[in-house]
Amino acid sequence: MGLDGKNIEVTKLSVQICKLLMGIVEQYEANIANRVLLSELGDEGAKSLLKENFLTKGRDLEHYWNGDDDKNVEWYDHLNSFAYLSLGGLVEVSEDDLKTYDVNFSKIVEFLADEFDVSRSSRTKNNEHIENFLYFVGDARLSNKKMISVYFARRLSGSEVSKKVDEFFLKQSTTKLKKLILTSSPNIYPETTKTGASIISIPKLLEMANGKKLLNLDYVANVVFNKNNEDPKPYIHCTEDGSLLFIGEKSWSVGGSKKRQIIKLMCDHYAENPQEQLKWDELLIEADIDESTTSRFRDMFKDSKLKELIAHKDGYVWFADR
């Protein structure tokens, strides 16, 4: 069962499963009992985390919570089972109810590296900088085309861990790239280290998940490079009326109502999926523009600088710089 009492159909790591995973990561021993895992995610959700190797076999429990007391569990040969002693005699406990699972931090780092499209050359095997607490994910290029160094830290809301992380960056980190620390901790203050590295809570980031990524990289770029702007913008976006187009830090004026309608729709689609190629005829219909000879792409943009910014082939259009 899920947190809302419903079974979860899992085809990939969902927001809900990732939030629970971050909750497990925050536990002192980064461990969860099999009974708890099943009650939170159901069979399918639990199998997903195990199949993808996010969780690995942990130690077996020596005690069993029966709803009232924490009972000591032992193996009884004549029962061929684990059991605990109650007033009514021995009560059998299944082996599954004693299983626990540990978080696989290597898999967590790999997952974050995939979310940030970290190149293989930037990923390192020896990425644990503070044992069980701080890991290097890799160097990543954000949606604004700028590079950053990405780290992952757990239990960063604790003063002792926070102090260790500060000391690491003060003494050992030499890269000139801006640094981002992703953390499983839900509440973080301050949101920067003493060396200026940005800190973002993954549980908070998951609340902004969109169709492109589980983690909203537009928001990440906004936090790391422009802290005064609370409204994260994609690398390519435009004003609400389509009159001004922004690509990175450059901008272009858009003249004419038809072109503005098209640019606005293209930006809306880009925000959902930057790699999508749009069918020109369908864009015209969506913009409620009559299909005519003047509505052909080459005619609409023939005298506009915007023509260089839009790729066009076989009836499809997309932003050339994406």
Question: Among positive and negative, which fits the CA dihedral 51, 55, 59, 64?
Answer: negative
- How far is 187 from 204, CA to CA, in rounded Å? 8
Give 268-293 as a 3 state SS string.
HHHHHCCCCCEEHHHHHHHCCCCCCH
The answer to whether residue 216 is domain-embedded is no
**Is 144 in the same domain as 52?**
no
**Is 244 in the same domain as 192?**
no
* Helix, coil or strand: residue 163: helix
- How far is 308 from 322, CA to CA, in rounded Å? 13
The DSSP 8-state label assigned to residue 192 in this structure reads: B
The values of phi and psi at residue 206, to 5°, are -65, -25
Q: CA end-to-end span of the chain, whole Å?
A: 40
Neighbours of 276 (CB within 10 A): 12
**Rg for the chain (alpha carbons), in Å?**
26
**Are residues 239 and 261 in contact, defined by beta-carbon separation less than 8 angstroms?**
no
**Is 309 in the same domain as 283?**
yes
Say how many CA atoms lie within 13 Å of 159 toward its Cβ: 0
**Is 289 in the same domain as 242?**
yes
The answer to whether residue 2 is domain-embedded is yes
* Final residue belonging to a domain, choices 225, 249, 277: 225
- Number of domains observed in the structure of the chain: 4
The answer to whether residue 92 is domain-embedded is yes
Whole-model pTM over 0.75 = no
**Is 200 in the same domain as 125?**
yes
Q: What's the domain range around 25?
A: 1-60
**Is 137 in the same domain as 159?**
yes
Q: Which residue has the tokens 């020896």?
A: 126
Report mean pLDDT in 10-residue bins for the chain, 322 residues: 36 79 94 92 89 93 84 90 90 91 95 90 83 93 84 91 89 78 85 86 84 78 70 80 84 88 92 87 88 74 85 91 66
Q: Residue 174: is it exposed, middle or buried by C-beta count within 10 angstroms (0-12/13-18/19+)?
A: exposed
| The pLDDT of residue 3 | 34
Question: Among positive and negative, which fits the CA dihedral 139, 142, 148, 154?
Answer: negative
**Is 305 in the same domain as 253?**
yes
62-68: Cβ within 8 A, 24+ apart: 64/93, 64/97, 64/98, 66/91
**Is 200 in the same domain as 114?**
yes
**Is 268 in the same domain as 311?**
yes
Neighbours of 57 (CB within 10 A): 11
Residue type, 3: L
**Is 120 in the same domain as 140?**
yes
**Is 135 in the same domain as 197?**
yes
Here the tokens at position 195 are: 């060396």
| The pLDDT of residue 211 | 59
* Final residue belonging to a domain, choices 70, 98, 126: 98
User: Before 190, cis peptide (omega within 30)?
Assistant: yes
The answer to whether residue 192 is domain-embedded is yes
CATH number of the domain to which 147 belongs: 3.40.1350
Burial profile 25-53: b = 16 or more Cβ within 10 angstroms, e = fewer: bbeeebebbbbebbebbbeebbebbeebe
The answer to whether residue 231 is domain-embedded is no
- How far is 297 from 155, CA to CA, in rounded Å? 54
Residue type, 266: M
